[in-house]
A and B are shown apart, each in its own frame.
Chain A
Amino acid sequence: MTQSSSKFLISVCVMVALVALPFFADMLGQPALTSLATRVLIYGIAAASLNFVLGFGGMVSFGHAAFFGVGGYVVGILYQHYASGEPLFGFLPGTNQLLVTLPAAVLISGAVAAVIGALSLRTSGVQFIMITLAFAQMLFFFFVSLKAYGGDDGLIIRRANEVPGLNMRDKQTIYYVCLVAAIVFFALLSKLVNSRFGYVIAGLRQSEQRMAAIGLSAYRYKLVAFVISGMGAGLAGALMANFMRFASPDMLHWTKSGELMVMVILGGVGTVFGPLIGAGTFIVLESLLASWTENWQLGLGLILLFVVLYTQGGVQALLERVFGRRS
């Protein structure tokens, strides 16, 4: 009883802190903090999506940057056609309305995830890691050769998508839009994890045979989970394209998949909010170290190594142990 009430208290405190963050940032004379927090939220969504298949479902995808990138490119391509006035494929008009582009990005990355997942899920283990990487690399090279949409240089989105009644040129507004998206996303995710579907997915991780024995088709459940996860990553990508006003093949590069994985492991595999903490830790560390020294990679590497060797289960587990002892 006390544990669940203290958990509730903590989440209320975190919510208040997140809502008030831009004001504090301005007060402290550090307005860039708001942008940093926006990035953390966006990567948090992407990492949590990855964690849904990786941590809960036991499917280690090394290609999630593909869905992240596809989400970003959907926003970018729709904007380019909106700006030029030429319809896409000759009949689809472009748009700069966030309420249109965001669902479109989610749907299309879900569709891509369905294709990749349907093929990849025929394998498992290390082969699954590598086949997801293979598909992501194919998409990476596809966007690199796509000259009509900027190729390697990427696609500039001169103005962020519009939402009626909001000034999306304002950084704080974008932060709040991302915060709302993150809240909705994490609420749905924790509902999903605690639903029957979520239990089946977690059960499949532990033993596919047991699940098969009670008459469940592992493949179909896994595929649905994979598609949901891809949609989440696509949402994050679409938000990122709006925040950066830029989409580039860099978003699909394998190192980005690796970074997402690092965020998940850093925060704590198989927890709902761990990846958000992981994303925060990774991005804050990267920015802080880079502003202190040119040799930031050395520091980041040593810290990551320390986390793996001396914390069992990432930063979240570390926090729980440190604070758990006190209470």
Chain B
Amino acid sequence: MSMKNIILAGALAAAVATPVLAQEPVKIGMITTLSGPAGYLGQDIRDGFQLAIDAEEGKLGGVPVELLVEDDNLKPGNGRQIADRFLNNEGVKLFTGIVFSNVAGATVPDIVDAGAFYISPNAAPSNFAGKECHENYFVVSWQNDSLHESAGQNATNLGFETAFVLAPNYQAGKDAISGFKRFFKGEIVGEVYTRLDQTDFAAEMAQIRDVAPDVVFQFHPGGLGIAFLRQYQQAGLLDMVPMVVAEPSMDAVILNAVGDAARGVNVSSHWNTDFENSANEAFVEAWKEAYDRPITYYASQGYDAARAIASALKATDGTLADADAFRDAMRQAAFESVRGEFSFGPNQHPVQNWFALKVVDGEDGKPTLETVGTVLENHGDAYAAECQL
């Protein structure tokens, strides 16, 4: 207790420019998925976020913060219940953390209706980008469709003419395929919807071999992706048909788990570890120091969300009471993103560049992601026009 006071006092003395900091720490509510197969996504978002707080020794933008983290167990109902408790019992005014669109769908309306802010570090379903957009809702990651639009553009840029596309039969999977098609100029020669609980893709592999397309686009996040890529290699397809994917199908954990089976895969992403900007270098170094795990883009999004919040807290001296001032400060996006250039579009979703990455052999012989070019520049999303803010 006294130790904490000393640190607080020290911080106070140092912060001469903003003497109002004697206030209580700003509470940030993080609702995220920590259990089940997708638990590592939430874990990385949380740890990335925490890294930004640790870098300022318990502060964001010079304002002391308290991070409350809770597991939604990938259940929309739990997410909503946690939000309710944070809002009403803890008086939280600032939320972040949700990994999945269905949890966001149930939880975000409550948060913004209560006058609180939600800063998304990951999921960004299309309805919140378009008709249902809200002045207190910001997305720091990307709009869901952009991920796959960039993959479609990447496939077009690479000169492929026929594509075989696969995704699980659920909303995000269907969105992935329609996003890919929107930007892929060639012909779709096969379209297969797999099952969300499917672990064996042998039937699909046989179909791909039979059709022999120029390129395969697949969207299988997390454990599904690991199984898919391994079986792709085991079926001998890796050397026959090139693959393009968006980043959820090739995050660092998947890459680590599939190893050689990922070599040569084309990935489109908004961020990569090898980006050369000072913010990213600091982030990568801090992560390697703090954790003994590969850095995923989820971690980078958690970190960026924290930094975006930091910029707004700094501009408003940590007073969330004036919502208009905080909102205006958020809209400036006055922070250095680990991905380089970043700004918010009219619907408060990112406008950013998308990059082409390729899985190549790293210095230590292990496959690693290398940035090889740009796919899309200043890319916003298709729904901004429907949003009236």
List the count of A-B residue pairs having beta carbons below 8 Å apart. 91
Q: Does B132 interact with chain A (Cβ within 8 Å)?
A: yes
- Among A39, A245, A250, A294, contact of B81 (Cβ-Cβ < 8 Å): A39
> Taking the complex as formed, is A86 at the interface, i.e. its CB lies under 8 A from any CB of chain B?
no
Whether A129 sits at the interface, judged by CB under 8 Å, is no
**Contact mask B232-275 → A, CB, 8 Å, 1/0?**
00000000000000000000000000000000000000000000
User: Which chain A residues lie closer than 8 Å to B75 at the CB level?
Assistant: 250
A216 close to B (CB within 8 Å): no
What is the distance, in angstroms, from B38's C-beta to the closest C-beta of chain A? 14
Which residues in A have their C-beta under 8 angstroms from that of B170? 144, 151-153
**A290 contacts which of B71, B80, B102, B109 (Cβ < 8 Å)?**
B71
Chain A CB within 8 A of B70 CB: yes
B171 on the A face (CB < 8 A): yes
Tell whether B105 is near chain A: CB-to-CB under 8 Å: yes
Bound-state CA distance A30–B80 (Å) is 16
State A31–B91 Cα separation when bound (angstroms): 11
A158: interface (CB < 8 Å): yes
Q: Is the interface of B mostly helix, strand, loop or mixed?
A: helix
Q: Is the CB of A156 within 8 A of B127?
A: yes
Q: Is the CB of A144 within 8 A of B169?
A: yes
A151 CA / B69 CA spacing, docked (Å): 29
Q: Are B71 and A248 in contact (CB under 8 A)?
A: no
Note all chain A residues with C-beta closer than 8 A to B71.
290, 294, 296
Contact string, A232-259, partner B, CB cutoff 8 A, digits 1/0?
0000000010001110101000000000
Categorize the interface residue count of chain A.
20 to 34
Main secondary structure of the interface of A (DSSP, over half): helix
Contact check: which of B35, B87, B125, B127 meets A297 at CB < 8 Å?
B35
Encode A135-178 as 1/0 by CB contact (under 8 A) with B. 00000000011010011111010100000000000010000000
Known: A30-B89, A154-B76, A296-B71. A35 touches B84 (CB 8 A): yes
Complex interface: chain B residues within 8 A of A10 (CB): none
Q: Using a CB-CB cutoff of 8 Å, which residues 121-172 of chain B contact chain A?
A: 125, 127, 132, 169-172
Interface centre among B88, B169, B170 (most CB of A within 10 A): B88
User: Which of B76, B88, B89 touches A250 (beta carbons < 8 Å)?
Assistant: B76
A32 to B321, CA, bound (A): 21
B119 at the interface (CB under 8 A from A): no
Given A32-B89, A151-B171, A290-B71, answer yes or no on A245-B77 (Cβ-Cβ < 8 Å).
no
Distance in Å from the Cβ of B112 to the closest Cβ of chain A?
Answer: 11
Which of chain A's residues have a CB closer than 8 A to the CB of B300?
none
Pairwise interchain contact B76-A290, C-beta atoms closer than 8 A: no
Q: Does A90 contact B (CB under 8 A)?
A: no
For chain B, the bracket of interface size reads 20 to 34
Please judge, given known A-B contacts A31-B88, A32-B88, whether A156 and B34 are in contact too, CB under 8 Å. no
Check B88–A248 contact: CB distance below 8 A. no
Closest residue on chain B to residue A31 by CB atoms: B88
- CB of B78 closer than 8 Å to a CB of A: yes
Task: Chain A residues near B77: list those with CB within 8 A.
Answer: 39, 240, 244, 250
A17 at the interface (CB under 8 A from B): no
Given the complex, which residues of B lie within 8 Å of A36, measured CB to CB?
A: 81, 85
Contact B88 A147 (CB under 8 A): no
> Taking the complex as formed, is A291 at the interface, i.e. its CB lies under 8 A from any CB of chain B?
yes
Q: Which residues of B contact A (CB under 8 A)?
A: 34-35, 69-71, 73, 75-78, 80-82, 84-85, 87-89, 101-102, 105-106, 109-110, 125, 127, 132, 169-172, 174, 196
Would you give 6 A-B contacts (Cβ < 8 Å), ordered by A? A36-B85, A151-B171, A154-B105, A171-B84, A250-B102, A294-B35
The 9 closest A-B pairs by CB, nearest first: A152-B170, A32-B85, A31-B88, A246-B106, A151-B171, A153-B171, A152-B171, A32-B88, A35-B84
